[in-house]
Structure 1
Amino acid sequence: MNKLCLLSLVIGLASQSAWAENATTGVGAASTLQAKNAFIANLMKQMTLDEKIGQLRLISIGPEMPKPEILKEITAGRIGGTFNSVVLPDNRAMQDAAGHSRNKIPMFFAFDVVHGQRTIFPISLGLASTWDMNAITRTGRVSAIEAAADGVDMTFAPMVDITRDARWGRSSEGFGEDTYLVSRISATMTRAFQGTSMQAPNSIMAVVKHFALYGAVEGGRDYNTVDMSPVRMQQDYLPPYRASIDAGAGGVMIALNSINGVPSTSNAWLLQDVLRRDWGFKGVTVSDHGAIKELIDHGVAKDFREAAKLAIKAGVDLSMNDKAYGEELPGLVKSGEVSEKEVDNAVREVLGAKWEMGLFANPYLRIGAAVDDPVDRNAENRLHRAEARDVARKSIVLLKNQNDTLPLKKQGTIAVIGPLAKSSMDMLGSWSGAGLPRQTVNAYDGIAAAVGDKAKLIYALGSNVTDNQHAITYLNKMDDQIAIDPRPEQDMIDEAVKAARQADVVVAVVGESRNMSHEAASRVDLVIPGRQRELIRALKATGKPLVLVLMNGRPLALGEENELADAMVESWFLGTEGGNALADVLFGDYNPSGKLPMTFPRSVGQVPAYYNHLNTGRPYRPNDSNYTSNYFEEPTSPLFPFGYGLSYSQFSVSDITLSINKMTRKDKLTASVMVKNTGKVAGETVVQLYLRDVAASISRPVKELKNFQKIMLNPGEEKSVSFTLTEEDLKFFNPSLKYAAEAGEFKLMIGLDSEDVKETTFNLL
């Protein structure tokens, strides 16, 4: 028996009686605020300073600290929680160790459950493309149920950073560019993770991230600086975090970037004035990985000691995988540079989070008993395939469908070509939890299952994802996943052309590998990488109908591809059931309804690209472009606008009817349109409402999303869609940071994307 197993056994024998002692203190009583505060106050009186500091340490399971050392540290009361363990026996051993500690304070276990735990759903950008809060709720609930069954108490999600620069690799992890849409999803996902009660065994605590403004890093380069006006912060970038907190998020993860020169991790204005004073947040704050030590590199701390001091004083409760608190806080308190009260404030929030997660009442709430552990933790019956397939197909966006190339017929010969066509690993996308490639349906297998013996499939790789050796070396250092076929690229293209010539239609699955759209994976360009573009040109030259299926985690510049393809489908990274969901759409078993949550630029030179920009004094006018705000080499408009997405149906939208055109502060205004399915098949579409404040005390965006409805219509069916507006919908932050609505004219627009709208006006009195 090795030392780890022996230590686990010894601790395990003592654990049941140890936790029983805590249970007699009335911990299992109703979780009222009064009971919680009294319990925590009593517990903290019994804790030494070193034990308090131990609660502030969040340790990664991995090479940073071997498991035997982790168990030893937990038993000594020097670790408050861990992350990256989803193995029930391992978590049980650590909880046993906590039960053997002097104060028997339970551990919590965290994990990045971003878009699934074992069943992997589409990446967050794909989820946002559904514009469907019911689908997003299902995603969050299934994720929580599966994570809790793996002994996970807390997730570092949702990630709600607004991003308008597609070069940023973590675009894949967020929900897009729009404040209103991301805020809606932020609240929805938070409630889904946490369920009706965080103390339920199938709920987990949401830790919203990355607070704040992380998606606005300069140049789209990860970890870079952010410099932003207070008005823009409040109006565009902060609301999604606030939405999660208002929905009850138990935690907040602090961003790695600086804001106007002050790193978030040492930013008392951000963590105390905004988060706790203005927003009333009562939960726990968590540093990002190693962020306290990084204050030295930011240039605001001269050494480790000063970094710890700045972080604890700013309001950072949990130090993630950083030795700063453990090594430096005892001396800082002893010298008087940090008060024990400041330490107590952080400890109180950590203990409060453990109370809210139900761990004081039952430390094994989500771990369960060993006798109930699954025989195979990767068993097929632990997955939720039906839910994954349904959500995945809702996230697919049809970008082009010339001459009704799609849906395809399940007949003849179909060439499935491309470096991503058979990649199950890439189908999972970034931050794929405990998902496994072998349980994931790739594009080729999904198509093969759909056609069965009704059609013949021909496969060719066509090219590698990239031929940039610098990129390959860099990406594979982090995640050794880019497999390179050593054959000459031209040989692979020739093979693909030969396959295409034998087929009736070509489906080319192209784009990025999943680790190209990830943390620390920012790009200088947005074109499809490598020789894939040459492959696409060669396939087009065969004269066969060409369907491009895109797999990527950010908007790409697809000008040439849009010209060459007969049909183009944005599938993102679809997750466990991705291949089946894709086949459902390609063959018309599901009518696509996804809409873009980010603008697709024509080229990288247009970024940051977003629809709700300010107008400027010389706004771009397509027919009079000289001396206006534009680029002269190509149209200034996007290739595909925010909210865009086609269907196998066609929809018409009537002119807008307003209930009133002069609105007082107490009035409710109703805007209505008739939407009709003028196509031949049933389909869903998203009806979108935008507003523009024509003249205000500060320049306002050309339009802003204020509401939307997703509706299903049968062929020929017509439906009235109505939106209700109040004064609250017209408010904004003025130059004095007062949130108010100003009297005057407003343009109201309703349509099927941010550009295809009907327009009318009303006045606020």
Structure 2
Amino acid sequence: MTFLFSTLFFLWSSCKKSEEPYLNTSLSFEERTEALLEQLTIDEKILLLQYKSPAIDRLNIPEHNYWNECLHGVARSGTATVFPQAIGMAAMWDKEEMFQIANAISDEARAKHHDYAAKGKRGIYQGLTYWTPNINIFRDPRWGRGMETYGEDPYLTGELAVPFIKGLQGEDKKYLKLVATAKHFVVHSGPESSRHSFDVYPSNRDMAETYTPHFKKAVQVAHVYSVMCAYNRFRGEPCCGSPVLDNLLRNEWRFKGYVVSDCGAIRDFHKKDAHEVVNSPEEAAALAVKSGTDLNCGNTYPALTKAVEQGLISEAELDVSVRRLLLARMKLGQFDPNHLVAFSNISMDVVDSKAHQAIAEEAARKSMVLLKNDGILPFSKELNKVAVIGPNADNLEVLLANYNGYPSNPITPLQGIREKLPNTEVSFAQGCELAPKLPYLELIPSEYLFTDSSTITQGLKAKYYNNSEWKGEPILSKIESRIDFIWKDKAPLPELDYDHFSVEWDGVLRPDKSGEYAIGAEGFSGFELFVNDSSIINLKGEHRPRKDYGYFKLKAGKTYPIKIRYVQDNSSYPMMQLLWCPPKDNLVQEAVDLANSSDLVILCMGLSPSLEGEEMKVKVEGFDKGDKLDVKLPEIQTALMKEIMNTGKPTVLVLLNGSAIAFNWENEHIPAILEAWYPGQSGGKAIADIIFGDYNPAGRLPLTFYKSIDQIPPFENYDMEGKTYKYFHGEPLYSFGYGLSYTHFTYDKLLVSKEIKAGENIQVSVEVTNTGNFDGDEVVQLYVSLTDAPFPVAIRSLQGFKRIHLKKGESQKVEFILSPDQFAYYNSEKDIFQVGSGNVHISVGGMQPNQNHSFSKSVLEQKVMVVGGDFDIKK
């Protein structure tokens, strides 16, 4: 009888829940959201404002973690296709390719989420709300996070962000595929060392011309559904507690989504040595919500409970943010049956599929910029011996950059060249470090690891625990020859819980050579490394891949205790590697000897995500918290290249980096230079394809390469004058928009209206012909200059571009339509944009006009007379 009653009650309650208005799919999302909001307690509402939003079972609200990353592929969530880093994608200058990449990413994200959810997993990096793209302006090449952006130009950034956001969010009329997040609003681009405390006061002109147009386009054209506010202050107010969130974003631009804080940004409101604009977590939380920051990445919003009690904020004010977040989750289909949400049917087969691998390969080729070619490229494949030299030649992390996933088959430059030349001897020499005291870390081979000081048994003793704290008896004890583990999609042992286990490795290290060693480890999730009974790395509680190291003077034949304690606590990609860099005394000579014995030298140099990135601990001179203190290539690399060039061998320099660098000596002395960025999983294949003529390069620089840091203002100066191609009056090393090809393109038949009335569009067309000997892509660029403007204006401004493919001998007509806002000037007296009477200079070509480069492209120019007086541009 009791069982029958329980069954009947369950059926009654299930029917009742299905009748709840917020579960009624015939109602609008807005109506359902209001119905759900009415049933929430104030405590439940506060829980929903936190990025780790727990389940509310009584209302069928599932757990949801808002923190997910997909900067250039689904990140930190196991196997995924890895596309070129964002700055490399920008160098494609290809809007269609951006959409294709984002669509592939969102396919993989949806497949992964539903696979996780089917297993009851809804943690970090397993959801549908993604904190991408980073559309801050790369205003200064020293900024370590600049690699995450689309470059220095707001027009290029906006035009690329729109298709990327649309590809992430999908084109369904009812449901969002993912939520994309435009970040970091509103003015933010370093330095990393002071991002929690600095304050920026950009002029109204710089705001209008540089810092906001691309955000506006992301909101009004792409309809991005989330915006992340930045760490720093803006005109005295923390960005996540600033009136600009409502005044500009919501009231002026009509943004309909929600705002999320950068992680820990609300804590900075009261934290000592940060902003310190309020005195307590309660005041900080109340200020953020009332200013329009709906969601907290961090741990400050639990203080909203006391903030309400203290009268700092009302429940009605909380409701505004809760409503926005619930509506987003409604639009993602989280409260609807899977059969109604087409995206829920995307299979895990798409993850790093052959189709997506092909897109990554094509994107890598499109992203690469040929900076210099004195006629030696492309090389013949008929070679006996090729030397591949440099610390980036066989380095996985320079393919993957940061905020990355883990591909099933990454191809480094060395591997790509070997695959391209199966009948040629392709040999490798490291040559040098990327920078002094940045070790080239490799796996410690098993012959140097032993269970104890007797050195009888090779390997380390391993103990596996079925918990995250090394407690109790281990599930298994064994000896493992070396520590090189990536546990993809399953636990190390069938008996272990995939989400919660721990491992301890213990033994000794016995080197065979005396000298200074770098010893370190890399893991995803938390780990601690002990060497000689001292803890040198303690990265407990991490939810991102981390690598660290320390230096030790070791003696040959002596044993040194070594221990690793690893914990897997709901990470999506458990891994652990024990690494070292033994003493290497003859790196330069080895490289020179290899070059002398080879027919061709391919140098793989540049930078690394170990040097540049987000608020990093970098132990290398010339770098600070991920930022560069100078833009020049580290001298240790230049010294090696001088030795290599003395051999007289044909040489090409391949640069792998995420930011503009100065390489003046190399530019003068090396006959061919290819900028490859951090090119993603197929980078090595793309490099080989270009060098050996199987692909004609057409990438263009999305930022200016300066000759020296002395050419630009200090890093902390946010005024745009003197920076970027729009306001820089000096001679750069390489210009924004620059890039060479193996073929030649000519421009003809430029048609532009000679006179228009203020308020009318300008129609532009040009004929482009491939007059060379190779098929290839061309990036057609349109720039506007306003020499007659009565107010200060940019030197020129990109206002149109199209990437086209032409077979040799083929011509194509390319058309642009310029709307009045694209040739307007900023009137600082009225704080508006205007079109005024006078000449508008239009230039169309494969580069900027008036550049001093030896360039196999033409640029056509035409003046358009605007008549009829001033025309105001509506906001």
Shorter-chain TM range is 0.7 to 0.9
Do residues 447 (structure 1) and 549 (structure 2) align? no
- Aligned with residue 508 of structure 1, among 600, 603, 610: 603
Distance (whole Å) between structure 2 residues aligned to residue 752 and residue 423 of structure 1:
33
What SS does the corresponding residue of 2:200 show, helix, strand or coil? coil
Asked if 1:281 is matched to 2:243, the reply is no
Alignment of 1:733-752 (within 5 A): 733-735=826-828, 736-752=830-846
What amino acid is aligned across from residue 769 of structure 2 in structure 1? Answer: K
CA deviation vs aligned residue, 1:550-580 (integer Å, no higher than 9, x gap): 1100011111111121110000011111111
SS of equivalent residue, structure 1 residue 515: coil
Matched, 1:149 2:111: yes
Do the aligned partners of 1:198 and 1:357 also contact (CA within 8 Å) in 2? no
Distance in 1 (alpha carbons) for counterparts of 2:650 and 2:262: 48
1:291 is displaced (CA, Å) by: 0.8
Contact 1:169 / 1:222 at 8 angstroms: preserved in 2? no
Cα distance, 1:721 vs structure 2: 2.7
| 1:356-505 matched pairs, under 5 angstroms | 356-362=331-337, 381=353, 384-432=356-404, 434-436=405-407, 439-453=409-423, 455-468=424-437, 479-480=546-547, 485-488=581-584, 491-505=586-600
Counterpart residue number, 1:234 = 208
- Matched residue, 2:526: none
Residue 297 of structure 2 corresponds to 320
Say whether 1:108 aligns with 2:64: yes
For 1:431 and 1:470, how far apart are their aligned partners in 2? 22
**Partner of residue 291, structure 1:** 265
Which residue matches 2:50? 57
Contact 1:283 1:353 in 2 (8 A): yes
Normalising to structure 1: TM-score of the pair?
A: 0.83
3-state SS, counterpart of residue 375 of structure 2: helix
Aligned residue for 2:605, secondary structure, equals strand
Q: Please give the secondary structure, in 2, of the residue aligned with 1:166.
A: coil
C-alpha distance in 2 between matches for 1:474 and 1:602: 35
Q: CA deviation at 1:644?
A: 0.2
Question: Contact 1:167–1:219 at 8 Å: present in 2 too?
Answer: no
CA RMSD of aligned residues (A): 3.2
For residue 43 of structure 1, the aligned residue among 36, 47, 57 is: 36
Structure 1's 18 and 264: CA in aligned 2 closer, same or farther, altered over 3 A?
farther
Are 1:313 and 1:338, in contact at CA under 8 Å, matched by a contact in 2? yes
Cα deviation for residue 141 of structure 1 reads: 0.6
SS in 2 for 1:528: coil
Give deviations 1:285-331, integer Å, cap 9, x for gaps.
Answer: 10110110011221212222221121111111111122x211x2112
Q: Specify the SS of the correspondent of 1:592.
A: coil
Task: Determine if contact 2:129/2:180 at 8 Å carries over to the other structure.
Answer: yes
**Distance 1:725-1:31 versus aligned 2 partners, 3 A rule:** farther
Q: Deviations over 1:96-130 (max 9, x none)?
A: xx26x222223334411110121000000000111
| C-alpha separation in 2, matches of 1:15 and 1:301 | 49
Change (3 A) 1:23 1:410: farther
Residues 171 and 239 of structure 1, relative CA distance in 2, 3 Å threshold:
same
Retained in 1: the 8 A contact 2:22–2:36? no
Residue 195 of structure 2 contacts residue 231 of structure 2 at CA under 8 Å; is this kept in 1? no
Contact 1:669/1:724 (CA < 8 Å) preserved in 2? yes
CA distance in 1, matches of 2:141, 2:420: 33
For residue 762 of structure 1, the aligned residue among 864, 871, 874 is 864
Q: Partners of 2:612 and 2:640 in 1: how far apart?
A: 22
Q: Which range moves more in the overlay, 176-185 or 469-478?
A: 469-478
Q: Could you say what secondary structure the match of 2:81 adopts? A: coil
Structure 2 Cα separation of the partners of residues 112 and 649 of structure 1: 39
Larger radius of gyration: 2
**Cα deviations across residues 113-169 of structure 1 (Å, max 9, x unaligned)?**
110121000000000111111111111011111111111311101111111201001
Q: In the aligned structure 1, how far is the partner of 2:548 from the partner of 2:667?
A: 29
Q: How many residues align?
A: 683
CA–CA distance in structure 2, aligned partners of residues 258 and 475 of structure 1: 36
In structure 2, how many angstroms separate the alpha carbons of the residues matched to 1:460 and 1:615? 41
Using the alignment, how far apart are the partners of 1:181 and 1:282 within structure 2? 24
Partners of 1:119 and 1:219 lie apart in 2 by: 28
8 Å contact from structure 1 (residues 615, 701) kept in 2: no
Using the alignment, how far apart are the partners of 2:737 and 2:46 within structure 1? 48
Matched residue type, 1:642:
F
Paired residues of 1:745 and 1:763 also in contact (CA < 8 A): yes
Partners of 2:733 and 2:749 lie apart in 1 by 26
Distance 1:493 1:23 in 2: 72
In structure 1, the residue matched to 2:638 is 533
State whether residues 402 and 613 of structure 2, in contact with CA within 8 Å, keep that contact through their aligned partners in structure 1.
Answer: yes
**Structure-2 change in CA distance of 1:638 and 1:31 (3 Å):** farther
Report the counterpart of residue 20 of structure 2 in structure 1: 25
Alpha-carbon distance in 1 for matches of 2:376, 2:24: 63
Could you tell me which residue of structure 1 aligns to residue 732 of structure 2? 638
List aligned pairs for 1:77-96, cutoff 5 A.
Answer: 79=53
1:219, CA displacement in angstroms? 9.3
Q: 2:762 aligns with which of 632, 646, 669?
A: 669
Q: Decide whether aligned partners of structure 1 residues 447 and 225 sit closer, same or farther in structure 2, where only a CA change above 3 A counts.
A: farther
Aligned twin of 1:585: 690
Q: Distance in 2 between matches of 1:259 and 1:473?
A: 42
Q: Structure 1 vs Structure 2: percent identity of aligned residues?
A: 30
Equivalent in the alignment of 2:467: none
Deviation, 1:22, is 4.3
* 1:680 Cα deviation from its structure 2 partner: 0.9
The change in CA–CA distance for 1:680 and 1:149 in structure 2 (over 3 A counts) is same
Q: How far off is 1:409 after superposition?
A: 2.7
The alpha-carbon distance between structure 1 residues 675 and 111, as it changes in their structure 2 partners (threshold 3 A), is same
Q: Which amino acid aligns with 2:264?
A: G
Distance 1:379 1:44 in 2: 36
CA separation of 1:551/1:615 partners in 2, compared to 1, >3 Å: closer, same or farther? Answer: closer
1:609–1:150 CA distance, 2 compared to 1 (3 A)? farther
Change over 3 Å in CA distance of 1:597–1:537 after alignment to 2: same
1:530 CA displacement:
5.7
Q: 1:714 aligns with which of 807, 812, 815?
A: 807
Measure the CA separation in 1 of the matches of 2:235 and 2:521.
Answer: 30
CA contact 1:166–1:608 (8 Å) conserved in 2? no
CA distance in 1, matches of 2:350, 2:783: 46
Tell me by how many angstroms 1:466 deviates.
1.9
Q: Is the 1:695–1:744 Cα contact (8 Å) retained in structure 2?
A: yes
| Distance change (3 Å), C-alpha of 1:474 and 1:560 | farther
Closer/same/farther in 2, CA of residues 552 and 408 from structure 1, 3 Å limit: farther
Task: State the distance in 1 between where 2:162 and 2:22 align.
Answer: 30
Q: Evaluate the alpha carbon distance shift between residue 668 and residue 49 of structure 1 in structure 2; reply closer, same or farther with a 3 A threshold.
A: closer
Q: CA deviation at 1:662?
A: 1.3
Q: In structure 1, the residue corresponding to 2:628 is in which secondary structure?
A: coil
Assess if the C-alpha contact under 8 Å between 1:464 and 1:485 holds in 2. Answer: no
Match of 1:480, SS state, is: strand
What's the CA shift string for 1:391-416, capped at 9, x where partnerless? 11000100001123334434321111
Letter aligned with residue 373 of structure 2? N
Deviations 1:466-516 (A, max 9, x none): 213699999997831687643345x10100000001111100111112232
Query: Closer, same or farther in 2 for the Cα pair 1:417/1:378, shift >3 Å?
Result: farther
Unaligned runs of 5+ in 1: 1-13, 60-78, 81-97, 621-628, 631-635
Tell me, in whole angstroms, the C-alpha distance in 2 between the residues paired with 1:474 and 1:265: 37
- Relative to total residues, which structure has the larger strand share, 1 or 2? 2
Counterpart-to-counterpart distance in 1, 2:351 and 2:646: 46
